[in-house]
Amino acid sequence: MVKDYFFRDERSAIINEDLFATTKIAQDSIDLVVTSPPYNVDIQYNSHNDRITYAEYLEFSAGWMKRCHGWLKPEGRFCLNIPLDKNKGGQQSVGADLTTIAKEAGFSYHATIVWNEGNISRRTAWGSWLSASAPFVIAPVELIVVLYKDSWKKTGGTRESDITREEFMAWTNGLWTFNGESKKKIGHPAPFPVELPLRCIKLFTFLEDTVLDPFMGSGSTLVAARQCRRTGIGIDIDPRYCEIAEGRIENNEGKTGNVS
């Protein structure tokens, strides 16, 4: 029997359920969804098959995005962290394809932020070395696609922002540069840094808004939400990842917020 919540206090809620099955989130109740879904590049998650066909992956993506669309308020925003493309298992235009699927799910497009992780260690293949025969072109960046439900202009909520002048000037530039997160340090196979959701939260929500991460993983979004006086809700099917997220919340991880 699934217990009510894996963890819950006045600022955070962890739901250890399948995002397609949970009934704990009301329709039209979320101000911002910020997430990094599985990339389908054969990452060894405990409770998710990250090696399905690309057609199956796109179908899976359409399903979870439709759920998120229903959970968002009419003025709700959606920050989708995805790769620009991939070559593992075949060359695929992941960023373009998932942006199209998001629009088919009912979202409207606003902008794309390019995240330069400053990490080229992922480069393990060049195709035809020093030859025009069949070289691989790999961009060491990811995307944060910014979408919205019905209206981009936000009029509800407290209308109180906590973003500084320096942060606003830097973060409205669509090229963000900061490092990724360490798998070994966090204990999760694909963590993203708190810096990513923190920027999205401060830029696109007001104080006391509610933020959802449907692929919570190690809990970076919930950590960021607590630091910014927002309510964070995370969903994850794996109990071990829920434990990691709860531990990070209870340890009150240090605040970030680089302006580059």
Count of residues in the chain: 260
Stated pTM of the model: 0.91
Which carries the bigger pLDDT value, residue 139 or residue 123? 139
Give all domains of the chain, ordered by start, each with its CATH number: 7-120+135-250 (3.40.50.150)
pLDDT tens sequence across 4-49? 899 999 999 999 999 999 999 999 999 999 999 987 754 555 556 5
- How large a percentage of the chain has pLDDT more than 90? 70
Tell me which H or E stretch contains 63: helix 54-71
What one-letter code names the amino acid at 194? V
3-state secondary structure labels for all residues of 180-233: CCCHHHHCCCCCCCCHHHHHHHHHHCCCCCEEEECCCCCCHHHHHHHHCCCEEE
Distance CA 104, CA 82 (A): 17
Q: How confident is the model at residue 80 (pLDDT cuts 50, 70, 90)?
A: very high
pLDDT tens sequence across 157-184? 999 999 999 999 999 999 999 987 666 6
Asked whether the CA dihedral 220, 244, 98, 28 is positive or negative, the reply is: negative
